[in-house]
Amino acid sequence: MTNGRPLRIVHVTRAPVGGIFRHILDLASGQAARGHEVGIVTDSLTGGDRAVTALAQLAPQLKLGVSRLPIQRELSPTDFFGFMKVRARLAALAPDVMHGHGAKGGAFVRLMGARSAIRVYTPHGGSLHYGRNTLRGTVYGGLERILMQRTELFLFESQFARNAYQAMVGAPPAIVHVVPNGITPAEMEPVPPRGDAADLLSVGEFRHIKGTDVLVEAVAELHKAGRKLTLAMAGDGEEGPALREQVARLGLEASVRFLGHTPARQAFAHGRQMVVPSRADSLPYAVIEAGGAGIPIIASGVGGIPEILGPEGNMVPPENPTRLAEAIAAALDDPAKVRAGAERLHERIGKLFSQDAMVEGVLKGYGEAIRAKFPGRK
């Protein structure tokens, strides 16, 4: 609340897909449930029917509505027109809080004038995944350094993201909070495997950064060693055709099932051991959700994943199918150890990754930034 009235909060993001979208939906719903007036501005070019359905379900809670405008993924001359449309929409909504998510959403929000609002930025990985010595890393890093000066509050979902931002861009000259993603009590209920569950499961978008091709290579190595494991893959995306070609080339068609896009908790029942072979990541919801569901996890030790799994987590180096295959074989050889690890992780998730704590932590950050910028407001 500010001056005794609810906050007017608008979340701005590019693509209504993946973990960023889940995070925004959870935040918007939780903020609306606490009496705030909330809206979402997002891209109209991506997301498909799933985004349409999810936004339609949430829309009755959003007093500031859902606005879908064309926003390109990569930097483009058309960004000027996209920004002008977003700018006009934000001006009409007159928010107290403009919260940009991801590189493009964060840029649009922070390019806005903000005489009566705070500008909040959550990178969600985004441009932080680009190497500092690459052209994209140089360009995005330079843009971030400019926009950093136009930000009243930085919200990072992991300590990794905060450290990565500081290494790439510099120390933010504004208020900084680390607020982890969280799940609901219902998502802490165990999900038992189906009778026909595969030995292994992956859940997530088929993108190069997610490393699903590394997992397929690891399964091929295990097959060559005589361990004829099965793998179920829930997801879709730009790498889908290449993954299907890879499975065929390695002779794994009979052992690998493509489930298509499947909600996480439904997908968990299709495998007995989840594998997260990411090349880079921030604080992936899929890992938090799987831990909450009691699913054993083997993951790349990248990004914020070690913050989820803790010091006893079963982690391997990224882009190393041999080490991944060894970790999978070791897990299959010691099911009692795997089950004990899953139970410890379930307890850890319950303590550290609550959705209520996430919503309250974000609102606390808003309040601090508002008081710092507008001392007369309460």
Q: Per-residue pLDDT for 76 more than 80? A: no
Confidence bin at 138 (pLDDT 50/70/90): confident
33, 6 contact by CB (below 8 A): no
> Do the two domains 8-182+354-373 and 186-352 of this chain adopt the same fold?
yes
Instruction: Indicate the range of 47-56, 67-76, 231-240 predicted with least confidence.
Output: 67-76
Model pLDDT, residue 17: 86
Look at the alpha carbons of 144, 145, 149, 152 in this order and tell me if their dihedral is positive or negative: positive
Q: For tokens 């000259």, name the residue.
A: 173
Residue 58 in this model has a pLDDT that exceeds 80: yes
In the structure, what pLDDT confidence band is assigned to residue 116 with cuts at 50, 70 and 90? very high
Domain ranges of the chain: 8-182+354-373, 186-352
Answer yes or no: is pLDDT of 258 > 70. Answer: yes
The token duo for 278 is 């990411």
Is residue 71 within 8 Å of 45, Cβ to Cβ? yes
Cβ neighbours of residue 142 closer than 8 Å, sequence gap 6 or more: none
What does pLDDT average to over the chain? Answer: 93
The pLDDT assigned to 378 comes to 65
Pick the CATH number of 186-352 from 3.90.79.10, 3.40.50.2020, 3.40.50.2000, 3.30.420.340: 3.40.50.2000
Contacts of 179 (CB under 8 A, 6+ apart): 155, 156, 157, 358, 361, 362, 365
Taking 80 as the threshold, does the pLDDT of residue 2 lie above it?
Answer: no
pTM of the model: 0.88
Contacts for 285 with CB less than 8 Å, ≥ 6 apart: 19, 22, 23, 181, 183, 264
Does 344 score more than 80 pLDDT? yes
- Across residues 149-167, what is the average pLDDT? 94
Average pLDDT over residues 92-116: 94
Cα 213 to Cα 221: distance, rounded to the nearest angstrom: 13
Report pLDDT for 73: 77
**Three-state secondary structure string covering the chain:** CECCECCEEEEECCCCCHHHHHHHHHHHHHHHHCCCEEEEEEECCCCHHHHHHHHHHHHHHCCCEEEEECCCCCCCCCHHHHHHHHHHHHHHHCCCEEEEEHHHHHHHHHCCCCCCCEEEEECCCHHHHCCCCCHHHHHHHHHHHHHHCCCCEEEECCHHHHHHHHHHCCCCCCEEEECCCCECHHHHCCCCCCCCCECEEEECCCCHHHCHHHHHHHHHHHHHCCCCCCEEEECCCCCHHHHHHHHHHCCCCCCEEEEECCCHHHHHCCECCEEECCCCCCCCHHHHHHHHCCCCEEEECCCCHHHHHCCCCEEECCCCHHHHHHHHHHHHHCHHHHHHHHHHHHHHHHHHCEHHHHHHHHHHHHHHHHHHHCCCCC
Least confident of 135-149, 201-215, 341-355: 135-149
When pLDDT is averaged across residues 261-268 and rounded to a whole number, the result is: 95
Looking at the domain that runs over 8-182+354-373, which CATH code has it been given?
3.40.50.2000
**pLDDT for res 168:** 87
Q: In angstroms, rounded to a whole number, what is the distance separating the alpha carbons of residues 180 and 177?
A: 10
